Amino acid sequence: MSPPNSKPSPSPIPLIYRLTFTYLEPILNLSGFYLYTFDIPKGQATYIPPAISPYNPATDVIYAQLSGCMLLIFFIQAVFLRYTNDPTAWRMINFALALYDVRILQGTYAHMVEYGRLDPLGWRLEDWAQLGFTAGIGALRVLCAAGVGMGGGKGRGGGGRGDKGRTA
pLDDT tens series, the chain, 168 aa: 555 666 666 889 999 999 999 999 999 999 999 999 999 999 999 888 888 889 999 999 999 999 999 999 999 999 999 999 999 999 999 999 999 999 999 999 999 999 999 999 999 999 999 999 999 999 999 999 999 999 864 544 444 444 443 443
- Flag whether 166 is in a domain: no
**Which residues touch 76 (CB under 8 Å, ≥6 apart)?**
93, 97
- Flag whether 165 is in a domain: no
The pLDDT of residue 161 is 44
Position 29: which residue type? Answer: N
- Flag whether 69 is in a domain: yes
- Flag whether 114 is in a domain: yes
- Flag whether 158 is in a domain: no
Is residue 87 within 8 A of residue 11, CB to CB? The reply is no
Nearest to residue 59, comparing CAs of 72, 43, 74, 71? 43
**Which residues touch 83 (CB under 8 Å, ≥6 apart)?**
162
- Flag whether 161 is in a domain: no
**Domain coverage including residue 108:** 15-145
Our count of domains for the chain comes to: 1
- Flag whether 94 is in a domain: yes
